[in-house]
Structure 1
Amino acid sequence: MQVKKVLTYSAIAFVAFYLFTRPGDAANTVRGAMDSVFNAANSLAQFVSHLS
């Protein structure tokens, strides 16, 4: 349980450090992740619409 807590806090610290030192790159990373989610949702919607 202790290892999970340390890894969680380390990940949060890394994200905060990355956000404050390279905000442009952090924004591009989030934008890319959101684009991937939207593309996956669009692909799923197309698949379901082709079933009927």
Structure 2
Amino acid sequence: MARLKQWLKYALIAFVAFYLLTQPESAAGVIDAGLGGLMSAADSLSRFVNAVAA
């Protein structure tokens, strides 16, 4: 089972590298969307904590 997990990890890394090299514009869009979502979540969490503290 451990060998399967290791193989899948390497396959995922290879797929991501292939995607980045063949579709850099699309990859940048995915990263941008992901970071935007994280920033939105952090902003929402900050607002919640400020509301609880007030």
Number of aligned pairs? 52
Q: Please report the TM-score for the alignment, with normalisation by the length of structure 2.
A: 0.93
Moved over 2 A (4+): none
2:17 corresponds to? 16
Q: Percent identity?
A: 40
Question: Runs of 5+ in structure 2 lacking a partner?
Answer: none
Show CA shifts across 1:6-35 (max 9, x none). 010000000000000000000000011100
Q: Please report the TM-score for the alignment, with normalisation by the length of structure 1.
A: 0.96
